[in-house]
Homo-oligomer: A and B are copies of this chain.
Amino acid sequence: METKYSVPETSTHTTTNMIKVSADSRTSAVAGAIAGVIRDHRHAEVQAIGAGAVNQAVKALVLATGYLKLDGINVTCTPEFADVTIDDKVRTAIKLIIDPQ
């Protein structure tokens, strides 16, 4: 499973809290990561490449939304395309931008 927190980098937000999801990622693990990043930073980004990864990311977001609701945090999501270079090839990723309402 590929679920990692990127190192802080320059962006419109003070830190980028990027969670990378693959088709093999466990939804509960990704959901826990999303909920943790939202609790700590009030902003999370989930990146997925390919249908299987996008599906896992969305399912994890459903679970995370439930966890966070128990903490009184209602999150919404805005999806975006993002170009990602992997092994010198440019691929289009889906980025789910998650913020409290």
Interface residues of A, Cβ cutoff 8 Å to B: 23, 50-52, 54-55, 58-59, 61-62, 65, 75-81, 94, 96, 101
Chain B residues, Cβ within 8 Å of A23: 51
Beta-carbon contact of A94 and B58 below 8 Å:
yes
Beta-carbon contact of A62 and B79 below 8 Å:
yes
**CB of A22, distance to nearest CB on chain B (Å):** 12
**CB of A84, distance to nearest CB on chain B (Å):** 15
> Which of B75, B76, B79 meets A58, CB within 8 Å?
B79
Q: Please provide the 5 A-B residue pairs with the shortest distance between their CB atoms, ordered closest to farther.
A: A51-B55, A76-B76, A54-B55, A51-B51, A62-B79
If over half of A's interface residues share one DSSP class (helix, strand or loop), that class is named, otherwise mixed; here it is mixed
Chain B residues, Cβ within 8 Å of A54: 51, 54-55, 58
Residue of B at shortest CB range from A64? B79
14 more A-B residue pairs beyond the given contacts A54-B54, A61-B79, A62-B94, with a C-beta to C-beta distance below 8 A = A51-B51, A51-B52, A51-B55, A54-B55, A54-B58, A55-B55, A55-B94, A58-B79, A58-B96, A59-B81, A62-B79, A75-B78, A76-B76, A76-B77
